[in-house]
Amino acid sequence: MRILMVSDVYFPRVNGVSTSIQTLRQVLAEAGHSSVLVTPDYPAAAAEAGIVRVPGWPIPRDPEDRLMHPRALAAALEALDPADFDLVHIHTPFLAHRAGVRWARRHGLPCVETYHTLFEEYFHHYLPFLPKAWLAAAARMISRKECDGVTAVIAPSSAMKNALLAYGVSSPVHIIPTGLRGADFSNCDGHAFRARHAISAERPVMAYVGRVAFEKNLDFLLQVTDQVRRSVSDVLLVIAGEGPARASLERAVAKRGLTDNVRFVGYLERRTELPACYCAADVFVFASKTETQGLVLLEAMALGVPVVGLAEMGTKDVLQEGQGCRIAPDDVAGFALTLVPLLADRSAAQALGAVGKAYAANWSEGRMGEAVLALYQSLRPEAASRPRLRAA
């Protein structure tokens, strides 16, 4: 099949949506299907086959992202030959959604949208001058309207599907989790990471990987770290990632006297440094309540690192007690009590991590690819019998 994808975000902008799109495109290519992605240009973006970059502007209060110029986006789509595509797949609900739906309708193509993000819980962090209840209602209304404007919707978890149904979405909603690309998380060198960052081999380390954003509940993890150090005085929380909340969190670290117990390491190269960061940790910690899946949990497990986290929203589908993880209660003291035994006993942590490594294998990118292709082909069955093109 031949797929046109449209998204308001992609690498070098690092987040779960970018990872999901990249994994899907790779799986499709390996199966002999072609795809073209139309997405924003970024200052550090390199030319890549099958990627059409659209110029735009930084977004206020979120400078990592780019707002595509509407006319440039329309021109980029109009330059494509609709005869080259069987289906349109949209990954974000902003300009990409409107432009992608318009293009698909004009050319009579089915249109799928993956609902990656629970925007109901995000908007108030970036528009704090507006009432939270109003923003949540607006997010639900917009989500319902947009999901009903496409042929089918993909939700990465059962919780996300349930949320969309509660919004009143009437388009078919299919649960297809983002697959874990095992080749990217098959080996690492945690000892070398510790050496590079002057972390002793004996020091108990917790790691968080992801956006350093307000909705990730990172202040909660700082409070947990403060509690844990009462039992494990030299504990270190490593935070890998960047985002709009970093400056605020750094101030909170200083205010709580956690400077020696928290380390911000920024973005890490995905194929080498990021896996090494996971493996340098004794435990991976996660407290977000707004995830539609939580792919980083599986990444940690795939590398044999045990997880302690909250089972909220989409992470409920991933976190199964004892399957590479301990599910913590949603309070600082309880979360800390769940963590301390694993930090104090490395053999117990490693045993739990070994179980998680086997569990993570069930979430392979191959399964995701098969499910997405089955959906594509159900919407455009005649395309399944066409000769496959060499993937872009």
Residues in the chain: 392
pLDDT score at 271: 86
pLDDT score at 245: 94
Widest CA span of the chain, in angstroms?
64
182-363 — its CATH code?
A: 3.40.50.2000
CA distance 174 to 164: 11
**In which residue ranges of the chain is pLDDT below 70?**
121-127, 129-130, 382-392
| Residue that is written with structure tokens 């990954």 in the block | 91
Query: Helices then strands (H, E): number in the chain?
Result: 15, 15
Q: Enter the tokens of residue 361.
A: 């294998």
Residue (of 309, 31, 35, 296) closest to 180 by Cα position? 296
| Residue that is written with structure tokens 């991976």 in the block | 284
Who contacts 291 (Cβ-Cβ below 8 Å, separation ≥6)? 118, 312, 313, 314, 315
CA distance 279 to 283: 9
Q: What mean pLDDT is reported for the chain?
A: 93
For the chain, the distance separating the N- and C-terminal CA atoms, rounded to the nearest angstrom, is 12
Handedness of CA 342, 348, 353, 358 (dihedral sign): negative
Other CB atoms within a 10 A radius of the CB of residue 172 amount to: 15
Other CB atoms within a 10 A radius of the CB of residue 146 amount to: 20
CB 86 within 8 A of CB 376: yes
| Residue that is written with structure tokens 């919707």 in the block | 153
Question: H-type helices in 234-272, by residue range?
Answer: 246-255
| Residue that is written with structure tokens 């499910």 in the block | 371
pLDDT score at 181: 83
CA distance 160 to 157: 5
In tens, the pLDDT along 174-217 reads: 999 998 987 777 778 999 999 999 999 999 999 999 999 999 99
CA distance 211 to 11: 14
pLDDT score at 383: 62
DSSP state of 320: -
Q: Which homologous superfamily is 2-179+364-385 in?
A: Glycogen Phosphorylase B; (3.40.50.2000)
CA distance 82 to 102: 13
Domain with CATH 3.40.50.2000 in the chain: 2-179+364-385, 182-363
In tens, the pLDDT along 359-380 reads: 999 998 988 999 999 999 999 8
Beta bridge partners of 156: none
pLDDT score at 129: 66
CB 377 within 8 A of CB 21: no
pTM score above 0.85? yes
User: What long-range pairs does 248-253 form, CB within 8 A, spacing at least 24?
Assistant: 248/214, 249/212, 249/218, 249/219, 249/222, 252/219, 252/222, 253/222
